[in-house]
């Protein structure tokens, strides 16, 4: 049995000009037929379209090699599943694909370059993802530089036993620049990754009730994003549970640090995030329970307005979030897509009054916010979360609306069994909004202190 298959033995050139798709695929197929092993890329730039991984085969990219996406979309056939958002068919194709395979991986210390500049930015079917795995088992992606994907970097779908370690992901050239996306997966281990992108860095989602998203471990990672750092939900028809996030840093995240949204009738439960440091994160914590169904951002397979699901047993602790002067500016995605500004910042937790979030703990959190917003500069009316099966008001609180905050630091509504323990707030500039609001909550414990710093010392705040 051969364990190593060098793609140059199958006619690959690796000069960055010739197309090597056929040679690489032949090496993968030969490796599979021989019982499995490693297919090695070394010594050059290998241009390729879609590659189909087989069971027991690892694609190994050496430090001297780059796998470069072929800019010719004809080299990306159908049959690689699809993106599960109804409005994003432009990302159906992909560079590396595996289906119903096991014991597979993409590893090494080399690079995969998605050649993003050679594909349209949006509105076309011609933007392949970098990797997609469907119903696979025992997957490893490790050690690589994954740069410039034309769409999402990865999508792990309905799969189990997944290890992603030591990845340098940079996806900042195009819209939908996600890093690691998991949908309906079990036993996921993410560690030692650095992710920069134009969309969510890491997503946990559940598109169906058949495949729960559970047993997820995220540790020792760094996130920079024009959108969210870690997003749990939005796609939440099924269940997401047993999630542990530890020892991560976030820097220059223009939307949310930790974003949890149960919006499509399923459940999100048993989530712990601990030991996080955030620098310049617009909304360090965002938690929302509602029902959301429209054509923008809804799951394929969700055809009717769902009942509001459940969001329970969430513990967020030992978090430091601090702004500097950078956060006095309005931040954009590309030219004109506003992502955040001082009046939008803060911790926000919200739900429909008839369907509250349950068992939420915020403990030992220090938040230093840039401040500088005047109460009279924001609208007086702040919309509520509505049950959209029953109510259809023009204005409803959602994940992107309202685009302002009525508080300087924190706004919490409709939580049953809320614990606030050791929260410390400080504004760098004078801000005349309410410091924080806890509304329609059954509070188990509340200990929150506001530090005004140079604006007048220390003022404890208590709200019934």
- Whole domain around residue 207: which residue ranges? 200-460
The whole-model pTM stands at 0.96
Taking CA atoms, 38 is separated from 53, 56, 143, in Å, by 11, 9, 15
Q: Does the pLDDT value for residue 223 go beyond 80?
A: yes
**Number of domains composing the chain:** 1
Q: Does the pLDDT value for residue 456 go beyond 80?
A: no
Q: What is the C-alpha separation between 87 and 64, in angstroms, rounded?
A: 38
Residue 143 lies in a domain: no
Residue 288 lies in a domain: yes
Give the mean pLDDT of 346-373. 97
Q: What is the C-alpha separation between 362 and 351, in angstroms, rounded?
A: 16
Residue 391 lies in a domain: yes
Q: Does the pLDDT value for residue 455 go beyond 50?
A: no
Residue 60 lies in a domain: no
Q: Does the pLDDT value for residue 140 go beyond 80?
A: yes
For residue 336, the model assigns a pLDDT of: 81
Residue 93 lies in a domain: no
Phi first, then psi, for residue 61 (nearest 5°) are -110, 110
Q: Does the pLDDT value for residue 296 go beyond 70?
A: no
What is the average pLDDT score of the chain? 93
Percent of the chain with pLDDT over 90: 85
For residue 461, the model assigns a pLDDT of: 40
pLDDT in tens, 362-399: 999 999 999 999 999 999 899 999 998 888 887 889 98
72: left (phi over 0), alpha (psi -120 to 50) or beta: beta
Residue 56 lies in a domain: no
Residue 397 lies in a domain: yes
pLDDT in tens, 279-293: 999 999 999 999 987
pLDDT band, very low/low/confident/very high, at 459 (cuts 50, 70, 90): very low
Lowest-confidence segment of 182-196, 289-303, 422-436 by average pLDDT: 289-303
Q: Does the pLDDT value for residue 462 go beyond 80?
A: no
For residue 457, the model assigns a pLDDT of: 35
pLDDT band, very low/low/confident/very high, at 86 (cuts 50, 70, 90): confident
264: left (phi over 0), alpha (psi -120 to 50) or beta: alpha
Q: Does the pLDDT value for residue 298 go beyond 90?
A: no
Q: Does the pLDDT value for residue 294 go beyond 80?
A: no
pLDDT band, very low/low/confident/very high, at 303 (cuts 50, 70, 90): confident
Give the mean pLDDT of 53-76. 98
* Residue 374: Cβ-neighbour burial (10 angstroms; 0-12, 13-18, 19+): exposed
Q: Does the pLDDT value for residue 452 go beyond 60?
A: no
Give the mean pLDDT of 239-244. 98
For residue 395, the model assigns a pLDDT of: 84
pLDDT in tens, 396-430: 899 889 999 999 999 999 999 999 999 999 999 99
Taking CA atoms, 127 is separated from 83, 88, 171, 316, in Å, by 11, 10, 13, 36
Give the mean pLDDT of 131-151. 98
pLDDT band, very low/low/confident/very high, at 169 (cuts 50, 70, 90): very high
Residue 167 lies in a domain: no
């Amino acid at each position: 049995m051969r364990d190593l298959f060098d793609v140059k033995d199958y006619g690959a050139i690796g000069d960055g000009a010739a197309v090597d798709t056929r040679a690489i695929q032949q090496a993968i197929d030969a490796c599979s037929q021989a019982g499995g092993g490693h297919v090695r890329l070394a010594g050059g730039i290998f241009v390729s379209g879609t590659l189909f991984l087989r069971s027991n085969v690892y694609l190994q990219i050496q430090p001297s090699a780059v796998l470069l996406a072929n800019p010719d979309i004809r080299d990306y056939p159908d049959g690689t599943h699809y993106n599960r958002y109804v409005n994003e068919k432009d990302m159906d194709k992909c560079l590396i694909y595996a289906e119903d395979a096991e014991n597979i991986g993409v590893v090494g210390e080399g690079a995969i370059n998605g050649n993003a500049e050679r594909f349209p930015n949006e509105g076309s079917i011609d933007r392949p993802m970098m990797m997609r795995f469907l119903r696979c088992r025992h997957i490893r992606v490790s050690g690589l530089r994954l740069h410039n994907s034309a769409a999402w970097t990865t999508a792990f779908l309905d799969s189990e036993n997944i290890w992603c370690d030591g990845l340098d992901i940079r996806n900042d050239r195009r819209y939908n620049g996600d890093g690691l996306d998991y949908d309906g997966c079990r036993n996921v281990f993410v560690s030692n990754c650095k992710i920069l992108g134009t969309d969510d860095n890491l997503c946990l989602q559940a598109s169906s009730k058949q495949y729960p998203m559970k047993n997820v471990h995220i540790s020792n990672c760094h996130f920079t994003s024009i959108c969210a750092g870690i997003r749990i939900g939005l796609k939440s028809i099924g269940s997401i549970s047993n999630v542990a996030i530890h020892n991560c840093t976030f820097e220059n995240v223009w939307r949310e640090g930790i974003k949890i949204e149960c919006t499509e009738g399923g459940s999100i439960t048993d989530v712990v995030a601990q030991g996080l440091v955030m620098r310049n994160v617009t909304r360090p914590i965002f938690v929302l329970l509602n029902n959301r169904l429209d054509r923008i951002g809804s799951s394929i397979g969700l055809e009717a307005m769902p009942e509001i699901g459940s969001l329970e047993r969430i513990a967020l602790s030992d978090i430091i979030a601090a702004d500097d002067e950078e956060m006095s500016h309005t931040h954009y995605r590309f030219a004109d897509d506003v992502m955040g500004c001082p009046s939008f910042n803060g911790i926000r937790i919200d739900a429909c009054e008839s369907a509250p979030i349950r068992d939420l703990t915020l403990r030992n959190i220090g938040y230093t916010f840039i401040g500088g917003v005047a109460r009279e500069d924001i609208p007086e009316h702040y919309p509520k979360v509505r049950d959209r099966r029953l109510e259809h008001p023009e204005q409803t609180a959602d994940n992107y609306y309202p685009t302002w905050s009525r508080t300087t630091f924190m706004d919490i509504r409709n939580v049953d069994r809320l614990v606030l323990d050791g929260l410390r707030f400080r504004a760098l500039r004078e801000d005349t909004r309410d410091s924080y609001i806890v509304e329609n909550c059954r509070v188990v414990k509340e200990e929150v202190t506001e530090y005004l710093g140079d604006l007048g010392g220390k003022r404890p705040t208590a709200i019934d």
